[in-house]
Structure 1
Amino acid sequence: MSQPTSSLLTAYRGQPVTRRPVWFMRQAGRSLPEYRALREGTSMLQACLTPELAAEITVQPVRRHDVDAGIFFSDIVVPLRLAGIGVEIVPGVGPVLESPIRSAADVAALPELDPDALAPVRDGVALAVAELGTTPLIGFAGAPFTLASYLIEGRPNRDLPATTALLAEDPETFHRLLGWVAGITATFLRAQVEAGAVALQLFDSWVGRLSPAEYRSNVQPHSAAVFAAIADLGVPRVHFGTATANLLPDLLAAGADVIGVASDLGLDQANQLLGGAVPLQGNLDPALLSGDWATLEAATRDVVARGAAAPGHVFNLGHGVHPDTDPDVLTRLVELVHSIPPEN
């Protein structure tokens, strides 16, 4: 696939850039008044699966902030929904399953994801790509462990009690479930690239709950299967998880080309942990966006300085944009990052 030349893709490949690229996780969303107006009366999953809405929401932050990439507007549970799993996103709660998956019989009954069911995703990506022009589009998906945790718990639960119990009591069923999730995740990611996305990010929101040994034994093989299944697409693959300071080498070993770093570790430290061999993305603390500008500017310059030693650096947050963030602050932040000369 031919890809446009952009600072984002150049940095993702560890090559010198003339302007440091920047985009924000959750840049398309509730921080934007135009998003709130467009979403009024429409559920989250309806918006994700209506191509025209998903495309417009994807483009909104690029139009407003001049960020260097769009990230497709979707949700990590979309492939579950398209596979026929009963799931809704409940406002103020998050994904809620009709029937949690907690037994061998439950896993055996899981349906395959029909590629034709991904038509709304392909159409939304294609519309967004056409609107973005030369600005690259990033596709994304939730990683197998995080998605499987939602399936097992039935709703968000940071302590993951049912997930922990299933792994301890029936590891074979646990691994079969993660294998199923890995398969639909790869299909979901491939569809986005086939429709025009030129980079992919795998989000593992809950994986920071695990020790390195637990991750390597129980999760890494399934994330590695996803990365292997999309390797032939030739696009940069980003791996990001929260609270993963002790897991970064293992996240890289799963097969990523770029590592996203959360706010719990300096980029200079992350670079050392990874042997100075991999481009990094991150990692301004999003909580600082609601503070005073002088503190935010100093923190931004510190992130840039720490990221300069890595082979490539894409400026981002260490987590998603908070819904109450002032969008004007994000625009000003983009201008600041763009104004700092890169140290190639």
Structure 2
Amino acid sequence: MVEFPPLRNDLILRAARGEKTERAPVWVMRQAGRYLPEFRELRSKHEFFEICRTPHLATEITLQPIRRYSGLVDASIIFSDILVIPQALGMEVLMNPGPSFPDPLNTPEDVSKLRQHVDVDKELGYVFEAITQTRIGLKGEVPLIGFCGAPWTLFAYMIEGGGSKTFTKAKTWLFKYPEESKALLLRIADVCVDFLVGQVKAGAQLLQVFDSWAGELSPHDFSQFSFPTLKHISDGVRRKLEQQNVPQVPMILFAKGANYALGELAETAGYDVLGLDWCIEPVIARDTVKGKVALQGNIDPNVLYGGREAIEKAVKRMCEGFKQGNKGRTGAWIANLGHGITPGVDPEDLKWFFECIRKYTSQ
């Protein structure tokens, strides 16, 4: 058992558990990545998935924003990619520059090409090693977040062969082969459970599930195809951690575009925190979840291109929104963007975002 340095900032852990905090903790999705010149310098020497599979490189990139924004950011998130799960299932994934699957799943018969059983220690052990190294490298400055992609989002990539504007192929599966689709979604969910449990055992102190394409589904289809797998993950992770005598960690769900489902997710999905995109007002989200979960979000990432005055105005408005609404059991909130930071952002403008969050949540 690795002895990790004592944690010096547990603000995000307390907020995720619904506790009242002296200010809102803050981090951003894709925090370790392409907007940082230090990342681009390292990336110029290594292929993307080579970095993911090389623990000391993944650790270095995870630590880069923590060093740059020391004292301003309250969490780190391991540098990896949601598509390591399709890779673990036996699919080839390239990054050039976006994700590409040379041999996607075209019909349900193609599922037979996937590994029947995924040994996550064997296939994804490099992520676990990077998490352990990063926990040590953080020296207790902030907690470390582990993550995975949600089954529907991974399913869509595996069938579309990459990103999509229409999701025609993936949705054809849902409508033409509903039972086969549900079986594959559940199979992906089982790998997600084992992967997340392994991350906790390796040292992750929070977990986030990214359902990036949730908003591409109608409310009915989300409830049929995505929601059951999201609950399967939260239930499965908690059960396996308990069975293995591993302490529980808070779990965050970010179902982008599924604001219509916030009430149901808060009530029954089993997550401690729900992430919000920028298409819902914080006060409405507060009233919808009725204090049953903490919230995370939710500025449009493109505000970071608007200059310091625009950033400060947006942060002030967001902070005021989260202070309103039905507090219920918890008024806890984690400040973040409403999606991942994009590559062209000036790192100094992100620093200003962090400084504004500190200013307006400490009041």
TM-score tier (shorter): over 0.9
Distance in 2 (alpha carbons) for counterparts of 1:244 and 1:104: 27
Matched with 2:338 is: 318
What are the ranges of 5 or more consecutive residues in structure 1 without an aligned counterpart?
A: none
Q: Among 201, 215, 220, which residue is 1:194 paired with?
A: 201
Establish whether residue 204 from structure 1 lines up as the match of residue 211 from structure 2: yes
3-state secondary structure, aligned to 1:281: strand
Establish whether residue 216 from structure 1 lines up as the match of residue 218 from structure 2: no
Query: How many residues are aligned here?
Result: 341
Conserved? CA contact 1:239–1:260, under 8 Å: yes
Establish whether residue 283 from structure 1 lines up as the match of residue 298 from structure 2: yes
Matched with 1:339 is: 359
3-state secondary structure, aligned to 1:138: strand
**What TM-score, normalized to structure 1?**
0.94
Deviations 1:181-206 (A, max 9, x none): 10111122112111101000100111
1:31, CA displacement in angstroms?
Answer: 0.6
Conserved? CA contact 1:83–1:114, under 8 Å: no
1:215, CA displacement in angstroms?
Answer: 1.0
- Residue type of the partner of 2:191? I
1:341, CA displacement in angstroms?
Answer: 4.4
3-state secondary structure, aligned to 1:42: coil
- Residue type of the partner of 2:264? D
- Residue type of the partner of 2:67? R
Matched with 2:313 is: 298
Establish whether residue 245 from structure 1 lines up as the match of residue 251 from structure 2: no
Establish whether residue 264 from structure 1 lines up as the match of residue 279 from structure 2: yes
1:153-192 equivalence runs, <5 A: 153-192=160-199
- Residue type of the partner of 1:288? V
1:18, CA displacement in angstroms?
Answer: 2.0
Deviations 1:202-229 (A, max 9, x none): 0011110112221111221111111111
Establish whether residue 28 from structure 1 lines up as the match of residue 43 from structure 2: no
Distance in 1 (alpha carbons) for counterparts of 2:196 and 2:96: 24
Matched with 1:65 is: 69
Conserved? CA contact 1:118–1:191, under 8 Å: no
- Residue type of the partner of 2:233? V
Q: Among 45, 48, 53, which residue is 1:49 paired with?
A: 53
Matched with 1:37 is: 41
Distance in 2 (alpha carbons) for counterparts of 1:144 and 1:79: 10
Distance in 2 (alpha carbons) for counterparts of 1:144 and 1:133: 33
What are the ranges of 5 or more consecutive residues in structure 2 without an aligned counterpart?
A: 242-247
Q: Among 90, 99, 102, which residue is 2:96 paired with?
A: 90
1:251, CA displacement in angstroms?
Answer: 3.4
Deviations 1:283-342 (A, max 9, x none): 111111111212210110111111124520110000111100010111122122123344
Conserved? CA contact 1:121–1:192, under 8 Å: yes
**What TM-score, normalized to structure 2?**
0.90
Conserved? CA contact 1:220–1:250, under 8 Å: no
1:47, CA displacement in angstroms?
Answer: 0.8
- Residue type of the partner of 1:330? L
Establish whether residue 120 from structure 1 lines up as the match of residue 134 from structure 2: no
1:170, CA displacement in angstroms?
Answer: 1.1
Distance in 2 (alpha carbons) for counterparts of 1:164 and 1:83: 21
Distance in 2 (alpha carbons) for counterparts of 1:82 and 1:168: 27
Distance in 2 (alpha carbons) for counterparts of 1:342 and 1:313: 13
Conserved? CA contact 2:51–2:57, under 8 Å: yes
Matched with 2:245 is: none
Deviates more, 1:284-293 or 1:333-342: 333-342
3-state secondary structure, aligned to 2:336: strand
Distance in 1 (alpha carbons) for counterparts of 2:106 and 2:236: 26
Distance in 1 (alpha carbons) for counterparts of 2:189 and 2:169: 20
- Residue type of the partner of 1:214? D
Conserved? CA contact 1:308–1:342, under 8 Å: no
Deviations 1:215-247 (A, max 9, x none): 111221111111111114411111112222212
Distance in 2 (alpha carbons) for counterparts of 1:14 and 1:50: 35
Matched with 1:330 is: 350
Conserved? CA contact 1:103–1:173, under 8 Å: no
Conserved? CA contact 2:190–2:233, under 8 Å: yes
1:84, CA displacement in angstroms?
Answer: 2.1
3-state secondary structure, aligned to 2:28: coil
Establish whether residue 130 from structure 1 lines up as the match of residue 136 from structure 2: yes
Distance in 2 (alpha carbons) for counterparts of 1:30 and 1:215: 31
Distance in 2 (alpha carbons) for counterparts of 1:249 and 1:101: 33
Conserved? CA contact 2:87–2:93, under 8 Å: yes
Deviates more, 1:163-172 or 1:1-10: 1-10
